[in-house]
Amino acid sequence: MLLEDPMSVNAHNQSTRGSENTATSLSHRTERRRSPRGGVNAEPERVHLVALILDTYAEMPGLSLHLRQAARLFGLRDRTCEVVLNDLVRDGRLRQSKDGQYRGAK
């Protein structure tokens, strides 16, 4: 009778399960957003984000934030914050310095 090493059997089972989980997660990637906007644990809707950001810059003249600082201050994922801030720069409501900091438009 041939006995298998229990450690190698466990390793095989874990690697098989890992590839099944990966395949399952990849097949369910139709929506990039992890949670809907406006919910209890979700990021605010776009209108509210813009108001929050612009009001913060208006309340604190001279505020200058790098992307990661802004994302943390506003409670956003880096990518979401980047998109909103870049749109505000494009619209002339904020400006971005050469070193990448976002500042209020004056």
What is the tens place of the pLDDT at every residue in 36-89?
555 556 778 899 999 999 999 999 999 999 999 999 999 999 999 999 999 999
Segments of 55-93 assigned E as strands: 64-65
Indicate yes or no: pTM above 0.85.
no
Q: Considering the domain boundaries, does residue 75 fall inside one? A: yes
Q: Considering the domain boundaries, does residue 33 fall inside one? A: no
Q: Residues 92-101: pLDDT tens digits?
A: 999 999 999 9
User: 21 φ, ψ to 5°?
Assistant: -65, -40
Question: How do beta strands 64-65 and 102-104 pair?
Answer: antiparallel
Say which CATH number the domain at 79 has: 1.10.10.10
Q: Which residues constitute the domain of residue 68?
A: 46-104
**CA 61, chain centre distance (Å):** 26
Q: Which long-range contacts link 31-35 to residues 24+ away (Cβ below 8 Å)?
A: none
